[in-house]
């Protein structure tokens, strides 16, 4: 397990999904029935944003966008009152899907400072009282779907994943000064949305990052790749979860279900048969695969040169070979550990966005339509799969757990409370007054839920 110095205090929720993105808290006496006016301690109106609340000490941090301006906002945990809000520079407007937001990344905080990322600027750091500490411009980024990965803290470093169609990297920044300690290129990675997680090994602290086609483990001190596993599809949205010696991750992309994999000729073979003008690269007109031609600009020409070069083609090969699944691997090793560390996979009930949850010896996934599935994390056996009655629709927020309960919220604002267990049971479905794409946070005996228009604090009387 990671020391608390790396994760924040046990009672805090210092980043996306709390301690090490696990989605699990030690809280007790949490409410089952909540609503716009039920078990509400306070409700604070906020500008829109998909980021989740990060909670350390007596402060809550979120990001938001209002009138095309980007903000970091601090709230008082006891009263919900806004303590300060700071505007970030916005020198550009990142292309993104309608379902994404310019304020998607969740802040990370150590209590003394808070660190935020906006794809339209880069990284920024503020002291807990709102004074600017440093800024680090990054980008612009080549990710047509927008950004999703949140910053995390690893000792005195801020780690930020910046995956995109061309030029992906993982950067480590000194949290005191904003100076870049290392910047590791991720040549294989394309559009990625997973947040990094930390794993303590005898050899040192590692950071695990799921991305296009593979999951990589890097040495936190140097940024050097240590081990990796491969075989995944081209874009990864959910964040992995860790057990003592295993990592679980969901991979889902279109056209990557089991049985849809295809062998694609090597780049040299393709040039030999398709490169009519013999310039060592392929134009759209030279392709014969109609499906590839129809997606040339959006999916294949990753660096927007108007041609497919070797990297573009290799990524095309990987994309046609990747497979959707819920995966389990042992952690550790050196180099390519795909075969040596593989434990099991299960391709049933795969979510697109919500991250898996490991709680009290049971692994959960939450799929669109409100389909909640429990698995045995040791074998991958499916234990129970059923729809959360009364809460259908789309899900972007990830499940969280504490006090023997799971909390999940749908896009339309249906907050379901589930009794945890292999044969989980639905306890309640609570209708809020607005939708949500933000993952809830749990600290002590309070549940914090952000909707499109407000942040709620719920508590059992």
Answer whether 354's CB lies under 8 Å from 397's CB.
Answer: yes
Mean pLDDT by 10 residues, the chain (461 residues): 50 96 97 95 98 98 98 98 98 92 98 98 98 98 93 98 96 98 96 96 96 97 98 95 96 89 90 93 91 86 92 87 95 98 95 97 97 98 97 97 98 98 98 97 98 98 87
pLDDT of residue 320: 85
User: What is the rounded CA–CA span in Å between residue 345 and residue 348?
Assistant: 9
- Residue 215, judged by CB atoms within 10 A of its CB (0-12, 13-18, 19+), counts as buried
User: What is the rounded CA–CA span in Å between residue 417 and residue 339?
Assistant: 38
pLDDT of residue 3: 52
The domain 267-319 is placed in CATH, from the list 1.10.238, 3.40.720, 2.30.170, 3.90.1690, at 1.10.238
CATH match of 11-260+322-459 with 3.40.50.720: no
3-state secondary structure 37-105: CECEEEEEECCECCCCCEEECCEEEEEEEECCEEEEEEEECCCCCEEEEEEECCCCCCCCCCCCCCCCC
Exposed e or buried b per residue across 58-70, where buried means at least 16 C-beta atoms within 10 angstroms of its C-beta: ebbbbbbbeeeeb
User: What is the rounded CA–CA span in Å between residue 26 and residue 11?
Assistant: 7
pLDDT of residue 1: 52
pTM score? 0.94
User: What is the rounded CA–CA span in Å between residue 27 and residue 165?
Assistant: 40
pLDDT of residue 293: 87
Q: Tokens at residue 29, please?
A: 């006496």
Q: Tokens at residue 303, please?
A: 């660096």
Domain ranges of the chain: 11-260+322-459, 267-319
Phi, psi of 272 (to 5 degrees): -65, -30
């Amino acid at each position: 397990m990671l020391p608390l110095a790396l994760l924040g205090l046990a009672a805090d929720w210092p980043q996306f999904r709390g301690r090490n993105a696990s989605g699990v808290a030690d809280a007790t006496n949490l409410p089952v029935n909540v609503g716009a006016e039920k078990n509400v301690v306070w409700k604070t109106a906020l500008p829109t944003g998909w980021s989740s609340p990060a909670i350390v000490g007596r402060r809550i941090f979120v990001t938001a966008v209002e009138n095309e301006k980007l903000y970091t906002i601090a709230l008082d945990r006891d009263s919900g009152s806004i303590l300060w809000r700071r505007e970030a520079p916005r020198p550009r407007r990142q292309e993104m899907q309608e379902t994404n937001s310019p304020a998607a990344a969740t802040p990370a905080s150590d209590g003394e400072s808070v660190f935020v990322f906006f794809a339209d600027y880069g990284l920024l750091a503020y002291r807990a009282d709102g004074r600017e500490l440093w800024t680090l411009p990054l980008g612009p980024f080549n990710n047509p779907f927008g950004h999703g990965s949140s910053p995390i803290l690893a000792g005195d470093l801020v780690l930020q994943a910046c995956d995109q169609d061309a030029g992906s990297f993982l950067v480590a920044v000194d949290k005191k000064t904003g100076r870049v300690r290392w910047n590791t290129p991720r040549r294989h990675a394309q559009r990625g949305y997973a947040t990094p997680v930390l794993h303590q090994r005898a050899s040192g602290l590692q950071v695990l990052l799921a991305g296009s086609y593979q999951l990589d483990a890097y040495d936190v001190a140097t940024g050097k790749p240590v081990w990796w596993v491969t075989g995944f599809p081209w874009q990864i949205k959910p964040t992995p979860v860790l057990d003592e010696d295993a990592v679980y991750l969901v991979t889902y992309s279109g056209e990557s279900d089991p049985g849809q994999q295809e062998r694609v000729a090597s780049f040299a073979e393709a040039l030999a048969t398709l490169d009519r003008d013999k310039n060592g690269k392929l134009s759209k007109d030279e392709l014969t695969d109609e499906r590839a031609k129809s997606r040339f600009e959006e999916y294949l020409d990753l660096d927007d040169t108007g041609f497919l070069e070797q990297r573009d083609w290799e990524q095309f090969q990987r994309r046609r070979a990747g497979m959707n699944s819920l995966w389990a691997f042992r952690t550790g090793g050196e180099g390519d550990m795909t075969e040596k560390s593989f434990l099991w996979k299960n391709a049933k009930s795969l979510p697109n966005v919500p991250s898996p949850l490991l709680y009290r010896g049971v692994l959960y996934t939450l799929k669109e339509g409100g389909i909640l599935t429990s698995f045995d994390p040791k074998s991958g056996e499916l234990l129970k799969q059923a729809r959360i009655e009364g809460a259908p629709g789309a899900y972007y927020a990830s499940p969280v757990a504490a006090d023997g309960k799971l909390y999940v919220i749908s896009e339309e604002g249906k907050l379901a409370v589930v009794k945890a267990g292999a044969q989980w049971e639905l306890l309640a479905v609570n209708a809020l007054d607005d939708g949500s794409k933000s993952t809830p946070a749990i600290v002590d005996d309070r549940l914090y839920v952000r909707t499109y228009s407000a942040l709620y604090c719920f508590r059992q009387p």
